[in-house]
Amino acid sequence: MADPSLQRWEDGRTVAGGSPYRIVRLTARGAELLDDWLAGKPVTSGHSLAQRLVRTGVVHPEHETASLRPEDVTVVIPVHGELPAELLDALEGLRVIVVDDGSPAPVPGAAVRHDTARGPGAARNSGWRLADTPLVAFLDADTVPTPGWLDPLLRHFETPGVVAAAPRVRSKRGESALERYERTCSPLDLGPQAGPVLPGSRISYVPTAALLIRAETLAELGGFDESMRFGEDVDLIWRLTAEHQARYEPAAIVEHAPRPSWPALLRQRYGYGCSAGPLGSRHGEHVAPVRISLWSALTWLLIALGRPRLALAVTGAATVLLVRKLGALGVPARESINLAVRGNIGAARLLAESVGRAWAPLAIPPLLLSKRGRLVLAFVAARHLTEQRELDPLRHTLARVAEDAAYGCGVLRGALRERSTTALRPVLTDRGGRSSVPVNGDPA
């Protein structure tokens, strides 16, 4: 299946798309094979090309059946508190291991009970080490899988190299303002589009609130880092994708309970932010708040400084270079110009997100001191008006600004604790990132 970003030129031999955006030059035979696959024919030859296109997100694998079955899965549920009967009912027929992570009252039926609360990473580790099946599914106690959730995930393990698959985690629908807000703004919901999981891409991580993974891979990785109270799931996924492949599959849906109150939501977002420091110490640039091209960064810096003519000159020079570079790969000049425009617009959004989120505690106070700075902040806040929402624009924007500020305070706290600026530093490059154009010109 083609990714929505897929584009082709030069009789189909120049292929572009995926995340990060890539351009691949195919041989005539490679173009014919891709034509066949997009028409629905099975992959019987050219397996290395197919795997490369799948890994870059240009196309997505489709398997009608799976060799692994539900009986090959053990579900591990970490619990601190009560275990909802609704979750157990949804897992009827599956093997289930419940781990009581130091609940005030013992959880009936738990296979393991920790004397004190040791955190979700430790609880999941205690559970998966008891499993004797090829696959382990992690589900948080406040989730409920919808009917048919497991089959789409199992089919991904037919793709060579895939060792983990994650469903879409959607906040349960409700009527309160908080429930409606979480429905569209939950950080666990990664959207309706499938793809590979890669740091720095559109799907840079998946939460282990719901995840299906090979038991042997967990053993290879040593499980979760129990020293991390937040971000242990991102750490696991990034260690996994360094050697293996993981897929995000939104056709499988698991519902997640929203936070019980607005203060609880802000505390959660603050905790997520605090994990950026430790993740930066472990994974370096993967945790960068923004990854954009040097050209785009310079363009928007000049605009912020009130030098639009110079910014236009920089953009023009960068566009000319891009047209020449991509033209050698068969990309039409019009499309190269379009990429340059979209890249600069995307860079503006990413910079606005960083100013209003990861850099908020450091950036907002000085920006408030000048008229131009206040205009920048207005643009930063206005980006939320373009988002999907169920609340009215004012309440949605206020909630998003508060959430971003809580996350940013957490990022600063985590950076100070780690005595490292990695979680705050941008990555400037002319090759990688969501707003630039990495090029792979190898023939296939």
Q: Convert 185-214 into a string of H (helix), E (strand) and C (coil).
A: HCCCCCCCCCEECCCCCCCCCCCCCEEEEE
Q: Is residue 282 part of a domain?
A: no
- Sorted by sequence, the CB contacts under 8 Å of residue 29 that are 6+ apart come out as 46
Task: Kindly state whether residues 82 and 42 are assigned to the same domain.
Answer: no
Q: Is the dihedral of CA 36, 41, 46, 47 positive or negative?
A: positive
Q: Is residue 268 part of a domain?
A: no
Task: Kindly state whether residues 146 and 212 are assigned to the same domain.
Answer: yes
Number of domains in the chain: 3
Task: Kindly state whether residues 112 and 254 are assigned to the same domain.
Answer: yes
Q: Is residue 385 part of a domain?
A: yes
Give the torsion through C-alpha atoms of 337, 341, 344, 347, to 10 deg: -110
Q: Is residue 335 part of a domain?
A: yes
Rounded to whole angstroms, how far apart are CA atoms 332 and 420? 43
Q: If you write DSSP's letter for every residue of 208-253 in order, what string do you get?
A: TTEEEEEHHHHHHHTS--TT-SSSHHHHHHHHHHTTSEEEEEEEEE
Task: Kindly state whether residues 233 and 365 are assigned to the same domain.
Answer: no
Q: What is the pLDDT of residue 430?
A: 67
Task: Kindly state whether residues 244 and 301 are assigned to the same domain.
Answer: no
Rounded to whole angstroms, how far apart are CA atoms 328 and 196? 28
Task: Kindly state whether residues 295 and 241 are assigned to the same domain.
Answer: no
Task: Kindly state whether residues 49 and 157 are assigned to the same domain.
Answer: no
Rounded to whole angstroms, how far apart are CA atoms 77 and 83? 9
pTM over 0.95: no
Task: Kindly state whether residues 79 and 124 are assigned to the same domain.
Answer: yes
Burial class (CB in 10 A: 0-12, 13-18, 19+), 277: buried
Q: What is the pLDDT of residue 422?
A: 95
Rounded to whole angstroms, how far apart are CA atoms 220 and 192? 31
CA 234 to chain centre: 9
- The low-confidence residues of the chain, meaning pLDDT below 70, are 430-444
Q: If you write DSSP's letter for every residue of 296-340 in order, what string do you get?
A: HHHHHHHHHTT-HHHHHHHHHHHHHHHHHHHHTTT--HHHHHHHH
Q: What is the pLDDT of residue 108?
A: 93
Q: Is residue 304 part of a domain?
A: yes
Contact 200, 146 (CB under 8 A): no
Choose among 237, 380, 243: nearest CA to 304: 380
Tell me the CATH number at 232: 3.90.550.10
Task: Kindly state whether residues 80 and 38 are assigned to the same domain.
Answer: no
CA 322 to chain centre: 28
Task: Kindly state whether residues 98 and 146 are assigned to the same domain.
Answer: yes
Rounded to whole angstroms, how far apart are CA atoms 6 and 430? 21
Domain that holds residue 44: 7-55
Q: What is the pLDDT of residue 305?
A: 87
Q: What is the pLDDT of residue 304?
A: 86
Task: Kindly state whether residues 168 and 306 are assigned to the same domain.
Answer: no
- Sorted by sequence, the CB contacts under 8 Å of residue 100 that are 6+ apart come out as 79, 80, 106, 107, 110, 112, 113, 114
Q: What is the pLDDT of residue 332?
A: 93
Q: Is residue 374 part of a domain?
A: yes
Q: What is the pLDDT of residue 434?
A: 36
Q: Is residue 279 part of a domain?
A: no
Domain end, chosen from 233, 258, 283, is at 258
Q: Is residue 281 part of a domain?
A: no
Task: Kindly state whether residues 243 and 297 are assigned to the same domain.
Answer: no
